[in-house]
């Protein structure tokens, strides 16, 4: 039984998902008898490099590449019952290659602390720009190239095989990015940061968590790097033939150097080291308010 437009369906544990019939259609999703779920689909044809903006007030965002010249956004709206799902609206618009999809509560509605949200599942061309924002949910992105801005008010951020200019910010959650090629700007209020890849620029800040950076061969400091945590350890591994000025300091802990030699050292103590790596160049600044710092070889 198909429901065109924005029709809704009551859901039971034995309900079967309906096939999506086209852009803007609604589908019911099996949810184990827990609550009420609707699935809505939006499709956008693009003729060039897409600029995709995704927003959900509460829910996860997952973005993957495909080989079509279009953007597909599947919105899974879920709540305690049918009436509460009706409070969630999806706004979608396209101007040229710019696509904007937002899932939000209708004006005047509130979440009341009850399980209600909208998950975005997105397929888009591999090369394109992306801005993904969740008020409360995780974000997962892989195999994209472009300018990528990932923001969550309260959720983890995961990225795999990404290239370009990448920003990942969360108010309360961990960040993990691997197989990166490009610039990184990372920040979390309360969580750990792990990043690896071929890096050209780096800024990584955690209010309360460990930071681990593994800069692979081919990385270079094309601008100053800044790595810091208010309360946690920092490990930064740099490849051979990496040129930089190292400035590492911890307020309460130790600074150690593992399997590295410096061309010049201007300060070395239990809690600080200032030294030249290779031919020197840009500054690599490392700080911890309360934790150990280790500088090693990748």
For β-strands 117-125 and 70-79, DSSP reports them as antiparallel
Q: Which of 101, 132, 163 is the last residue of a domain?
A: 132
Q: Is residue 203 domain-shared with residue 98, that is, in the same domain?
A: no
**Is 143 contained in some domain?**
no
Residue 27 domain-assigned? yes
In this structure, the answer to whether residues 289 and 205 fall within a common structural domain is yes
Q: Are residues 182 and 295 in the same domain?
A: yes
d(CA 144, CA 224): 25
- Say if 105 falls within a structural domain: yes
Answer whether residue 24 is part of any domain: yes
What is the C-alpha to C-alpha distance for residues 164 and 256, in angstroms, rounded to an integer?
A: 32
The pLDDT value recorded for residue 28 is: 54
Do 216 and 120 fall into the same domain? no
- Domain, as residue range, for 62: 1-132
Residue located via tokens 């197989």: 179
* 147-164 tens-digit pLDDT: 999 999 999 999 999 999
87 and 17 assigned to the same domain: yes
In this structure, are 125 and 184 located in the same domain?
no
Residues 208 and 295 in one domain: yes
pLDDT block averages, 10 residues each, the chain of length 298 = 34 33 48 76 96 97 97 96 92 98 86 76 98 97 98 97 98 97 97 98 97 97 97 96 96 92 90 96 97 96
Which parts of 138-233 are beta strand (E)?
A: 139-142, 145-152, 157-170, 175-188, 193-206, 211-215, 225-229
DSSP for residue 74: E
| pLDDT single digits (tens) 228-286 | 999 999 999 999 999 999 999 999 999 999 988 898 889 999 999 999 999 999 999 99
Measured CA angle at 53 (ends 199, 114), to 5 deg: 105
Residue 112 lies in a domain: yes
- 70 in any annotated domain: yes
Q: Are residues 190 and 114 in the same domain?
A: no
Q: Domain check: are 118 and 211 in the same one? A: no
pLDDT value, residue 4: 32
Same-domain pairing of 34 and 103: yes
Residues 113 and 203 both lie in one domain: no
Do residues 99 and 51 make contact, with C-beta atoms less than 8 angstroms apart?
yes
In the listed set 110, 132, 154, which residue is the last one of a domain according to the structure? 132
Q: How far apart are CA 165 and CA 115, in angstroms?
A: 34
Domain assignment present for 15: yes
Q: Residue 210 is encoded by which pair of tokens?
A: 């460990």
CA nearest neighbour of 179 among 166, 194, 161? 161
Number of domains in the chain: 2
Instruction: Give pTM, 2 decimals.
Output: 0.88
Residue given tokens 């060039």 in the structure block? 48
Same domain, 291 and 186: yes
Q: Would you say residue 251 lies in a domain? A: yes
**End-of-domain residue from the set 132, 161, 196:** 132
CB-count exposure of residue 238 (10 Å: 0-12, 13-18, 19+): buried
């Amino acid at each position: 039984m198909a429901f065109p437009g924005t029709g809704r369906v009551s859901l039971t544990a034995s309900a079967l998902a309906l096939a999506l019939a086209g852009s803007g259609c609604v589908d019911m999703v099996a949810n184990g008898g827990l609550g009420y779920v609707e699935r809505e689909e939006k499709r956008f044809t693009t003729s060039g490099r897409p600029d995709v903006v995704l927003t959900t007030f509460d829910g996860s965002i997952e973005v993957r590449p495909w080989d079509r010249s279009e953007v597909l956004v599947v919105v899974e709206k879920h709540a305690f019952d049918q009436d509460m799902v009706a409070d969630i609206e999806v706004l979608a618009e396209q101007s040229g290659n710019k696509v904007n999809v937002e899932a939000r509560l209708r004006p005047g509605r509130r979440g009341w602390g009850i399980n209600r949200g909208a998950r975005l599942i997105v397929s888009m061309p591999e090369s394109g720009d992306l801005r993904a924002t969740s008020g409360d949910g995780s974000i997962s992105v892989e195999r994209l190239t472009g300018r990528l801005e990932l923001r969550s008010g309260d959720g983890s951020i995961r990225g795999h095989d990404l290239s370009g200019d990448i920003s990942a910010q969360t108010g309360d959650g961990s960040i993990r990015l691997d197989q990166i090629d490009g610039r990184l700007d990372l920040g979390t209020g309360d969580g750990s940061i792990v990043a690896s890849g071929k890096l050209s620029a780096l800024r990584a800040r955690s209010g309360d968590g460990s930071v681990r950076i593994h800069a692979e061969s081919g990385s270079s400091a094309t601008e100053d790097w800044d790595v810091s945590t208010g309360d946690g350890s920092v490990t930064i591994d740099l490849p051979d033939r990496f040129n930089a000025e190292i400035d590492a300091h911890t307020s309460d802990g130790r600074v150690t150097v593992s399997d590295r030699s410096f061309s010049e050292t201007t300060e070395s103590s239990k809690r600080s080291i200032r030294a030249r790596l290779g031919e020197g160049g840009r500054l690599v600044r490392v700080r911890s308010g309360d934790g150990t710092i280790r500088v090693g070889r990748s």
